[in-house]
Amino acid sequence: MRALIAFAGAVFLGAVSLQAADNNAAYIKARQGQMSALGGHMEALGSLLKGKINKPDLLKAQAEALHSGSMHVTELFPQGSTDKKSHSKASIWKDWKTFEANAADLEKATAELAATAQKSTDAAKIGPAMGKVGEACKSCHKSFKEVEKDAK
Amino acid sequence: MSQVPLSVIFAFFAWAAPMYSQGAVQARDQSAIKRGEYLFHASGGCSCHALPKGDDTLGGGRPLKTPFGTFYSTNITPDGKAGIGHWSFDDFYNAMAHGERKNGDNLYPTFPYTSFARMRKEDVADLYAYLQTLKPSPRENRPNEALFPLSLRLSVTPWKWLFFHPQPVASEPKQSPAWNRGAYLAQAVAHCGECHSPRNIFGAVETSHYLAGAATGPDGPVPNITPDKKGIGDWDTSDLVDYLKTGMKPNGDFAGSVMAEVIDDGYKYLSEDDLNAIATYVKSVPALPR
């Protein structure tokens, strides 16, 4: 009887972990999409600043989008969800507290940038605020993202 | 004044002279240390000599996995026993320019003396002055894990015959001063080619494919950074400056792992002019697909 229960349990656990493995690919794609979106907003904001393009409403909108896009990052990193396509390092789950703290720093920095943009889209204010966001991105990537395989 | 005996005047200067020259020496030392700190940053902050996490010294011990074994970086702090505190400048120069330890043994070229050998001697002297001011660490050097016969340092001697013939970075009069400055910084100090160029089966850099990327580096595959479209062809010079300053790529992504480290520990401290110089030079190398 015990053997039967143990066997059923193993099949169940096997099925659950198989499903998790299937879903890993989805989680990975989802967060890669999220990260690409953040990159896109950074690219837009950076170009507006560098090009001295004076479009305050556009800048405010991008800063808002960057902030809302930067939320809930950790929810797309369930335990062990990495594979060949992923650039995530195993250290994410070994050092989850730091990963969470980094994600919180990002949310804080993007919130500050959005708030700054509401008050003034002056480059002298936006520049440093963007710098803080960049530091948050770099800091997390330094610990938890594999080094780039190509320059794109 | 003529009342004061000449002997007293001489005695005064004899007494004061050491202080004057000591002051001059100290002033000279301080400016050497400052220049050395800048060169330290230009070399990427020697991050290979620190552990990736929780280490505030250059006490070494960081593993570098290669096809020839795993090599561990050494303690380059001024600790008199475990580090290089007891190394004279000549000892240090010998390591940087000739790839030799204090006792004359070969250093493995995982320490990129193939690049540092091209530094100007006065720059090496400034770097030495700066390194001697850093926080000492008592961490003992970890033995390398190389397979026999590479475990014998003597095996590096034929490698040096074949692959180690350093030349100073040539000045190109047809190029701008900025390009020339960038060529020196990139090739000799920042040593981009040590990671970003492929290596042959003997582990020597393939200079014909300079900066075209490597299948295996300290942290996995290394990107092509030549101006090819497979490399950084669609990056502006200013994009490359921004990247070395902030880690941000033109597509808004940010550098990770070891590249983020060398930016944080080194390249981000460089002047706008020098970053421009490096970018100008790197954007000018032959465009090669990986």
Looking at the complex, does the CB of residue B200 fall below 8 Å from at least one CB of chain A?
Answer: no
pLDDT at B272: 98
Query: Is B251's CB within 8 Å of A39's CB?
Result: yes
**Other CB atoms within 10 Å distance of the CB of residue A103:** 20
Separation between Cα atoms, residue B48 and residue B94, nearest integer Å: 20
pLDDT at A132: 98
* Average pLDDT in chain B: 93
Query: Is A40's CB within 8 Å of B252's CB?
Result: yes
Band of the pLDDT at B7, cuts 50, 70, 90?
confident
Looking at the complex, does the CB of residue A43 fall below 8 Å from at least one CB of chain B?
Answer: yes
* Average pLDDT in chain A: 90
Identify which of A35, A144, A149 has the shortest CB distance to residue B221.
A149
Asked if A150 contacts B224 with a C-beta cutoff of 8 angstroms, the reply is yes
pLDDT value at B5 more than 80: no
pLDDT at B216: 86
pLDDT value at B255 more than 60: yes
Q: What is the ipTM of this complex?
A: 0.86
pLDDT at A1: 79
Instruction: Return the residue of B nearest to A43 by Cα.
Output: B252
pLDDT value at B161 more than 70: yes
How does B151-190 read in b/e, with b if 16+ C-beta sit within 10 Å?
A: eebeebeebbeebbebeebeeeeeeeebbbbbbbbbbbbb
pLDDT at B26: 72
Band of the pLDDT at B212, cuts 50, 70, 90?
very high
How does A43-65 read in b/e, with b if 16+ C-beta sit within 10 Å?
A: bbbbebeeeeeeeeeebbebbbb
Phi, psi dihedral angles at A122 (to 5 degrees): -65, 130
Task: Pinpoint the alpha helices (H) of chain B.
Answer: 6-42, 89-98, 113-116, 121-131, 156-163, 177-184, 192-196, 237-246, 257-265, 272-282
Query: Which of residues 89 through 148 in chain A touch B, CB cutoff 8 A?
Result: 89, 131, 134, 137-138, 141-148
pLDDT at B21: 58
pLDDT value at A22 more than 70: no
Separation between Cα atoms, residue A21 and residue A17, nearest integer Å: 6
Burial of B140 (0-12, 13-18, 19+ CB in 10 A): middle
Contact residues for B97 (Cβ-Cβ < 8 A; gap 6+): B113, B116, B117, B119, B121, B124, B166
Q: For A25-77, how does the pLDDT look when each residue is reduced to its tens digit (9 = 90+)?
A: 999 999 999 999 999 999 999 999 999 999 999 999 999 999 999 999 999 99
pLDDT at B24: 65
Q: For B62-104, how does the pLDDT look when each residue is reduced to its tens digit (9 = 90+)?
A: 999 999 999 999 999 999 999 999 999 999 999 999 999 999 9
